[in-house]
Amino acid sequence: MSFVGRHVLSIDPFSRADLEALRALATRLEPVAQRKVRCHALEGAVLANLFFEASTRTRMSFHTAFSRLGGSVCDTTGFTFSSISKGESLADTARVIAGYADAIVMRHPEQGSVAQFAEHIQVPVINAGDGAGEHPSQALLDYYTISAEFDRLGKTIDGMTIAMVGDLKHGRTIHSLSKLLALFERITFHFIAPHALRAPDALVEMLREKGHTVTIFDSVGAGIADADVLYATRIQKERFGTEEAPEGYSEQFRINRQTIDRYAPSDVVIMHPLPRDSREGAFDLATDLDSAPQLAIFRQTDHGVTMRMAIFAAVLGVADNIEQYFSEQRGFRPTRYSELDAPFYTLNKD
Ligand code: NCD
């Protein structure tokens, strides 16, 4: 499909060819993401970055991506500082912001709200998470990460096994990534969650209807034994309105070095959309894996900027010959990436 002028609200309208096109575009934008060259493709354009729910990396990486393409960004965070707190409808807010901005990124706690907002306007809207609904840009950066890791490992997405662990019911990253992987062939999904947080039936049915294999597990061990990717997620307590851990959610869902050494293949790619809950009793992805080369979580966050640049370039119609907007990087030039991921980037080679 042509992305120009389109909203990005869900993975539903994407084809495999669309994914491949975005991946190719992201690869061409890698020198800009790594600050080796500058890009002025979006000079003069303004992004409205509207976040009505907590965010660190999604908000900042959209901001960074738009800035690296030469555009500028207006941010608003939380309901308190927005006129929505004065009773303004989403439709009015949409109409107003469409008069200011050339692209809009929006995160909102209600499922379907971002689509409702986008209905009223022509300016491209990107869904940065609508409640327990979808998070398409996260799925795209996850796909970009899996592709890069698999290139290194000599694997293909077709035929892969992915183990998804944690809050599969409320995790919008799980919903979007599953839909995205369903565009490939013969995927085996291992859904590992306590009963109360299992993946929605409709999602499981859709994956099976498309010919993929879905197996449900209620503990980690067997579910990760033959995984190519292990995708851990946080328990989304804010979505079930209680601080109580759900029944059945216990120590056995923690992914740590011992779990990986004991059950997972040595080349498993460990992913997480982040944030991970590092508080005691959270049983989320443990920090004792931080120096493990299989841990791709910070490569994911780096890829978030690149993929979001590709999304903006595509929807704002500057993707063709994007290199014509490149210029020499003057002044500041970064020389290093984080030590954790140093082996994966050429920048850190002395
Ligand atoms: C996730 C989200 O907000 O959906 N984070 C992200 O965007 N990278 C996951 C979460 O909040 O647990």
Q: What is the pLDDT of residue 346?
A: 66
Ligand 1 atom at minimal distance to the Cα of residue 107: 3
Q: Indicate if ligand 1 lies below 6 Å from the C-beta of 173.
A: yes
Q: Provide the pLDDT for residue 223.
A: 95
Residue nearest to atom 6 of ligand 1 (CA): 273
pLDDT at 349: 54
Substitution candidate for ligand 1 out of 11, 51, 58 with most atoms within 8 A of CB: 58
Atom of ligand 1 nearest to the CA of 172: 4
Return the CATH class of domain 16-135+304-328: alpha beta
What's residue 150's pLDDT? 98
Q: What are the domain boundaries of the chain?
A: 16-135+304-328, 136-298
Protein fold of 136-298: Rossmann fold (3.40.50)
String of DSSP letters for 110-123: STTHHHHHHHT-SS
Task: Show the low-confidence residues of the chain (pLDDT under 70).
Answer: 81, 242-245, 337, 342-343, 346-350
pLDDT of 27: 97
Which pLDDT does position 253 carry in this prediction?
A: 87
Q: Which two tokens stand for residue 119?
A: 């209905």
Give the pLDDT of residue 86.
80
Regarding the beta carbon of 10 and ligand 1, being less than 6 Å apart is answered no
Atom of ligand 1 nearest to the CA of 173: 4
